[in-house]
Structure 1
Amino acid sequence: MQPDLHDIAARIDAARVYELAARTPLQYAPKLSADLGRNVWLKREDLQDVFSFKIRGAANRMSALKDAEKARGVCAASAGNHAQGVAKAAAYHGVEAVIFMPVTTPSIKVAAVQSHGAKTRLIGDTYDDACAAALAYAEHSGAVFIHPFDEIDVIAGQGTVAKEIFEDAPRDIAAIYVCTGGGGLVSSIGAYAHVHSPATRIIAVEPMGAATLKAARAAGHPVALTHVDGFADGVAVRTFGQLTFAICEQVVDACVTVSNDAIAAAVRDIFELTRTVVEPAGALALAGLKRDVADGNAPDGDCVVTVSGANVNFDRIGHVVERAELGAGEEMLFSAVIPEQRGAFRAFVEALGNRAVTEFSYRYQANSHAHLLVGLKIKSGSERDAVMAALRLANVTAHDLSGDRLAKRHLRHMGGGRSDSAEDEAIYRVEFPERPGALGQFLTALDARWNISLFHYRNHGAAEGHVLCGFQLPCGDKEGLENSLSLIGFPFWDETNNPATQLFL
């Protein structure tokens, strides 16, 4: 049975959120509007006291509790933003709250939850692990479990975002781009828009590595992702909600997926306009609008993007900045092969013209050619093409590595060079939850027969750690190595034949 959208809209109108939630501004973005060729408005949910729209759903759900339920206490599972909302609402109503969070949750979010008086329990590597623990706790303790997105009172509270948008917009809204994880916000905004402004398009925006709504639509029902990219940790859920999916099937006009680099570029856009550093999930909707504009899919009228959260660890900011220029198309990273002979280096530099160099790595090799890793400031994709064309004219063999994960995450930060035993070596990229002991677990769990010949790890404050690892293979036993890696339980990718590996490692 399909959810009744008129009933949901009525619940949104009646939602009790303003005891705890602020009415946030709908802010015009003049520079973005000029750049994107249409009026762009930011719905500033980062200005809530808990820096996220999640306080709305938590406030409305908590206000609906009966006295007997309040006496039993509440519990929740969250990677941070919902947790803060529940903690603050519980403190306001004098209710005991126990919040289950993944061990990988940024410390700034854990501290914020504790500051509201809630108890925190860090369990598991993912939201799903924490949620299972919270449900088990609710079962044996009697505490009321408050879902972050898949129950009607939470959805109704979050839908007050849409109510404010339509009340504050000076003109009809052509489209609302909504950050999407489990679906609470996009389903509520979509339901309200469907009733009060049916011509407004609702666009769900997801990270490429955590596209749960896209997967649910392909399957016809919510399905669990086998792997979730935690870069935008605020929307990094494994499975879309059942109720939210039923609503979204009626109200979401399109889904857009965006890369982590595009998200980082949108974080920078918002900072330049507001001087606020939002978390990756907070900039997700803007990244979706920019993607639609570039692809020619965005409507011409006024567009609203939700700026949904600003709970970001300070140590993550550097990594986001690093990725932003690549995401904005303002930097290119490429490899080049030039002859080890007089005049070749000068010819290479002349081919680059007067462009600003952001990075330049070179290591002498005792053979006829030198391998370079170069970063350049550029202004557009067409300039990228011009650089590659100029290099070809100078007889320089070059590969654009701007989209290569190995190059961006590891190679540009590594020293050393090629190994003399590279012919007996396999290179793998491994991803693991960024929690205390995880790196040690990876190293100690490796079978001792695999000698490590290369290793690179760099902590950048995210929920996931990334290792580049080389192994010497006795008798070329690649199948045995991959069986050993599988037993550790972390996802891994063979990068041995990656062009960047072949050139530099």
Structure 2
Amino acid sequence: MIHQYIERILRAKVYDVAQESPLDYAPLLSKRLDNRVYLKREDLQPVFSFKLRGAYNKIAMLGEREQANGVIAASAGNHAQGVALAAKRLGIKALIVMPRTTPEIKVESVKARGAKAVLHGDSFDEAYDHAMQLAGEKGMTFVHPYDDPDVIAGQGTIGMEILHQHNGAIDAIFVPVGGGGLIAGIAAYVKFVRPETKVIGVEPDDADCLNRAMAAKRRVSLKQVGLFADGVAVKQIGKETFKLAQRYVDEVVTVNTDEICAAIKDIFDDTRSVAEPAGALATAGLKKYAEQRGVSGQTLVAIESGANINFDRLRYVAERTQVGEHREILLAVAIPETPGSFLNFCKLLGKRSITEFNYRYFDASQAQVFVGLSSSGEENDCAGVIAQLQAEGYKVTDMTANELAKDHIRYMVGGHAPCQLHEVTYSLQFPERPGALLKFLLSLGGRWNISMFHYRNHGAAFGKVLIGLQMPKSERKVFQKTLAEEGFTYQEETDNPAYRLFVGGQENKR
């Protein structure tokens, strides 16, 4: 198998349209991690992503009859742009099926490269099914985003370039993983030429299809995946890519949203480029690996796989970066409702900066404040602050890792409901497109009274809502069934401490 892939990679035609991307030394990351860190700059490709390599190689390998019939693909972003540009360069008609949630900038980018865009469904799976149907009806060749030998070989040229660009020893190469095309191609080439170099996959902890498959020793399908790193939001690793990953990938590291955001900032600090979340995934994994394993003096390479990020999302990234770098601690602290209590609280913190302080009067004896504090970045800094406050008699709840607190509560702190509401609370997400919020409200049908509502648009494909409703416990299953039928991902938050401490009704304040 591996010899066939090496031959495919060596014969790949990617350089008709792609460029050999730089392998840039990252001085700031290297100094901080005490390792030699390099970034493979696939964000500098003509479509700002590595996807062009595999798409072009696949289409260029088609026969004359297949090329005459045209190509079709399903994608919400980078693969779509890669197929569109590849088809244009080869003079082939292309049709791209994209979810209706796809940002307009990506739809227009596909059209600008000469392809026809068809919007269908709210998810990649729906777009994929429709694309396969159209391929059969129109006789067009489907260009898979990852699970195809020619696509895998096209992506594998990145591994070939890395070994050509860095003649010295490389201890590990970190690769973002979605469907597995990129890591399969890189691993096959690298392990053939330099078997001593580790190839390490990196996935979001809420979309870790390869990590789960490696543990189970078979492909598994995730029920749902996180959407922040939308470029790798895949429920199941590819069949062909998993065969290669099982043989040639050494391990998988998972990272959370805050760690990805911190990596976006790290890349910006070293290169002045803004990576998309999936594009910074490998760097986040490299950092976590180096810190957890305590490695130093090694040569580590991360694939910066893309830079197709919506400008709107930068606000959210900036907000989460401080926590991701362990530079901010979020706490809920009970303070006596007396004059001078805030001053005493600040004195206790000394010279530590307060990054956020949210409070509203509610109880005559005790104030519940949401506070952000600057952190040294040391692993035990948060525990030390909490211990210090508790020693002085303060009741403290750590909110640093509480997703509800970070996504909603910190923007809602304004007091509890003034009476018992018999409220049940849910966080949910729905496709972010015109009319989506109205559709959600209509799905409730006026059956339950909405007692709390918070929505934020993060510039992503999916919107996040925190909702409180007055309903008896006996009707919760009916409500959850309604959400499931409408395709909403949800989680009950009624017992979440962030909700109870800051915005819950009287019956929740305990």
TM-score class normalised by the smaller sequence: over 0.9
Report the alpha carbon displacement of residue 70 of structure 1 after superposing the two structures with TM: 1.1
How high is the TM-score relative to the length of structure 1?
0.96
Mapped partners of 1:303, 1:127: distance in 2: 33
Mapped partners of 1:332, 1:73: distance in 2: 54
Q: CA RMSD in A?
A: 1.5
Bigger Cα displacement from structure 2, 10-19 vs 288-297: 288-297
Indicate yes or no: 2:406 matched with 1:408.
yes
Mapped partners of 2:279, 2:167: distance in 1: 24
Report the alpha carbon displacement of residue 207 of structure 1 after superposing the two structures with TM: 0.5
Residue 217 (structure 2) aligned to one of 213, 216, 220 = 220
1:211 touches 1:257 (CA, 8 Å); kept in 2? Answer: yes
1:5 touches 1:194 (CA, 8 Å); kept in 2? Answer: no
2:370 touches 2:413 (CA, 8 Å); kept in 1? Answer: no
Residue 296 (structure 1) aligned to one of 286, 290, 293 = 293
Give the corresponding residue for 1:166.
163
Mapped partners of 1:371, 1:382: distance in 2: 24
Mapped partners of 1:398, 1:463: distance in 2: 35
Give the corresponding residue for 1:358.
355
Report the alpha carbon displacement of residue 16 of structure 1 after superposing the two structures with TM: 0.6
Report the alpha carbon displacement of residue 79 of structure 1 after superposing the two structures with TM: 1.8
Give the corresponding residue for 1:486.
484
Mapped partners of 2:102, 2:372: distance in 1: 32
Residue 112 (structure 2) aligned to one of 104, 108, 115 = 115
Mapped partners of 1:232, 1:81: distance in 2: 13
Give the corresponding residue for 1:328.
325
Give the corresponding residue for 1:29.
26
Indicate yes or no: 2:345 matched with 1:348.
yes
Report the alpha carbon displacement of residue 11 of structure 1 after superposing the two structures with TM: 1.0
Give the corresponding residue for 1:504.
502
Report the alpha carbon displacement of residue 132 of structure 1 after superposing the two structures with TM: 0.9
**Deviation digits for residues 194-230 of structure 1, max 9, x if unmatched?**
1100001010000111111122223333222111111
Give the corresponding residue for 2:508.
none
Give the corresponding residue for 2:448.
450
Give the corresponding residue for 1:148.
145
Report the alpha carbon displacement of residue 436 of structure 1 after superposing the two structures with TM: 2.2
Indicate yes or no: 2:289 matched with 1:313.
no
Bigger Cα displacement from structure 2, 38-47 vs 218-227: 218-227
Q: Secondary structure at the match of 1:103?
A: coil
Mapped partners of 1:293, 1:165: distance in 2: 20
Indicate yes or no: 2:232 matched with 1:235.
yes
1:15 touches 1:160 (CA, 8 Å); kept in 2? Answer: yes
Q: Percent identity?
A: 48
Give the corresponding residue for 2:89.
92
**Deviation digits for residues 466-503 of structure 1, max 9, x if unmatched?**
10000112476444443443343312111111111111
Give the corresponding residue for 1:180.
177
Structure 1 residues 119-138: aligned runs within 5 Å: 119-138=116-135
**Deviation digits for residues 286-318 of structure 1, max 9, x if unmatched?**
100111112117575211100000001111111
2:357 touches 2:372 (CA, 8 Å); kept in 1? Answer: yes
Indicate yes or no: 2:269 matched with 1:272.
yes
Mapped partners of 1:66, 1:487: distance in 2: 44
Q: Secondary structure at the match of 1:363?
A: coil
Mapped partners of 2:192, 2:2: distance in 1: 7
Q: How many residues align?
A: 502
Residue type matched to 1:304 in 2?
Answer: V
Mapped partners of 2:241, 2:380: distance in 1: 41
Mapped partners of 1:238, 1:40: distance in 2: 30
2:120 touches 2:127 (CA, 8 Å); kept in 1? Answer: yes
How high is the TM-score relative to the length of structure 2?
0.96
Give the corresponding residue for 1:459.
457
Mapped partners of 1:462, 1:369: distance in 2: 38
Mapped partners of 2:360, 2:232: distance in 1: 41
Mapped partners of 2:161, 2:191: distance in 1: 15
Q: Secondary structure at the match of 1:114?
A: helix
